[in-house]
C-alpha cells in the first residue's frame, strides 16, 4: 500500500499525494458531518470539575451510586398511626352495626330542651358504647389535626417517631373534654335543676359526637394528602366553631329566663368557652417543645 507521499502511477496519468495537500484540503474543503455537530466535549459537560475528577479516578463509580439520604418520616407511612386508624374504624363499624338509630337520639339531645322526658329516652348500653367510640374517634382526629397545625405553623419539627406526639396530643384532647364535662356538670348543678343540667350535658356530648364524625374527613386528608393541610385545618376550625355554636345555643335556651340572666350567660361564655380554649392553645404550644 503506498504512503501519502508516494507517487501512484496509473496508465492514464500520474497523481502525486502529499500530507500537506491532504491537510490543506481538509481545512478548506471539508464539511462537518451532521453527527459531528452534536458532539459534547468533556469540558462542555454539565458537571463540575470535582465530579469529572471523581469519574476519572474511580473506575467503578456507577456501582456505588449516590449517597443514601434518610427518608423523612410521614404520618401516612407510620405503622403506629395506621394501626390506630384501623382500630378506630373497626370500633366505629362494629358499634354502629348494633345501634343505627343513635343519630336521631344525638340530634334530639343536641337541640331539644323538652322538660318532660319520653319513656323511651333512657340510653341503652349499646348507645353509651357508641357514644364512647365516637368520642374516641374525636380525640384521635383532634390529635391528628393539632399535630398538623403545629407542623404547619412551624412549632414542631418532624420527629423520628410520629406516633408518640400524636398519641400525646390525642390524650390532651381527651383531657380537655373531660375537664369541660366536669365544669359543665358543676355549673349545671349550681344554676339549674337536674333536668336542665342533664339536658345541657347531653347536648355537649352530642355536639362532640357529631364533631368527631365530621372531623374524620379533614383528619384523613391531612394524613394522606399533606398538600391540602392548610385548607383542611380551616375546614376543621369551621366545623369546631359550628359545633360549639350549636351547644351554646342550647345552653342559652336552657339558662336564659330574663334579662339579668344574660349577664351570667356572658360570664359563662368567657369562663368556660373562651378562657379554656386559650389555655389549651398555650398548653399545646408549650408541649410542642417536648414533642420534636
The residue behind cell 466535549 is 41
Is the separation of the CB atoms in 171 and 138 below 8 Å?
A: no
Cell 452534536 sits at which residue? 38
Give yes or no for a contact between 146 and 138, defined as CB atoms under 8 angstroms apart: no
The pLDDT tens digits for 111-153 are 877 766 554 455 666 778 888 999 999 999 999 999 999 988 8
Return the minimum-mean-pLDDT range out of 150-159, 162-171, 271-280: 150-159
Confidence (pTM): 0.72
Per residue in 46-68, pLDDT tens? 566 676 666 666 555 555 666 66
- The answer to whether the beta carbons of residues 146 and 223 sit under 8 Å apart is no
pLDDT tens column, 209-262: 999 999 999 999 999 998 999 999 999 999 999 999 999 998 888 888 777 778
- Nearest to residue 101, comparing CAs of 118, 126, 138? 126
**Mean pLDDT lowest among 6-10, 88-92, 275-279:** 6-10
Residue-range domain boundaries for the chain: 75-290
Amino acid at each position: 500500500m503506498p504512503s501519502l507521499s508516494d507517487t501512484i502511477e496509473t496508465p492514464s496519468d500520474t497523481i502525486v499525494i502529499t500530507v500537506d495537500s491532504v491537510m490543506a484540503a481538509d481545512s478548506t474543503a471539508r464539511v462537518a458531518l451532521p453527527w459531528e455537530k452534536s458532539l459534547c466535549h468533556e469540558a462542555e459537560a454539565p458537571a463540575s470539575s470535582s465530579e469529572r475528577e471523581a469519574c476519572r479516578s474511580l473506575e467503578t463509580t456507577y456501582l456505588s451510586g449516590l449517597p443514601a439520604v434518610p427518608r423523612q418520616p410521614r404520618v401516612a407511612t407510620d405503622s403506629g398511626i395506621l394501626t390506630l386508624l384501623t382500630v378506630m374504624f373497626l370500633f366505629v363499624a362494629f358499634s354502629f352495626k348494633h345501634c343505627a338509630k343513635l343519630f336521631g337520639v344525638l340530634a334530639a339531645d343536641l337541640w331539644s330542651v323538652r322538660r318532660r322526658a319520653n319513656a323511651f329516652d333512657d340510653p341503652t348500653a349499646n348507645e353509651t358504647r357508641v357514644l364512647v367510640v365516637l368520642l374516641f374517634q374525636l380525640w384521635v382526629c383532634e390529635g391528628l389535626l393539632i399535630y398538623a397545625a403545629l407542623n404547619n405553623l412551624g412549632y414542631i419539627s418532624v420527629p423520628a417517631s410520629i406516633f408518640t406526639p400524636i398519641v400525646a396530643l390525642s390524650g390532651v384532647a381527651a383531657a380537655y373534654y373531660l375537664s369541660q364535662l366536669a365544669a359543665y356538670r358543676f355549673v349545671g348543678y349550681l344554676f339549674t335543676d337536674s333536668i336542665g343540667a342533664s339536658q345541657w350535658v347531653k347536648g355537649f356530648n352530642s355536639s362532640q359526637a357529631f364533631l368527631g364524625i365530621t372531623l374524620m374527613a379533614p383528619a384523613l386528608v391531612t394524613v394522606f394528602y399533606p398538600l391540602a393541610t392548610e385548607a383542611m385545618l380551616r375546614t376543621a376550625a369551621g366545623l369546631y366553631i359550628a359545633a360549639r355554636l350549636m351547644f351554646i345555643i342550647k345552653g342559652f335556651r336552657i339558662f336564659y329566663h330574663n334579662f339579668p340572666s344574660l349577664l351570667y350567660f356572658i360570664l359563662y361564655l368567657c369562663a368556660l368557652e373562651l378562657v379554656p380554649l386559650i389555655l389549651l392553645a398555650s398548653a399545646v404550644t408549650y408541649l410542642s417543645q417536648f414533642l420534636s
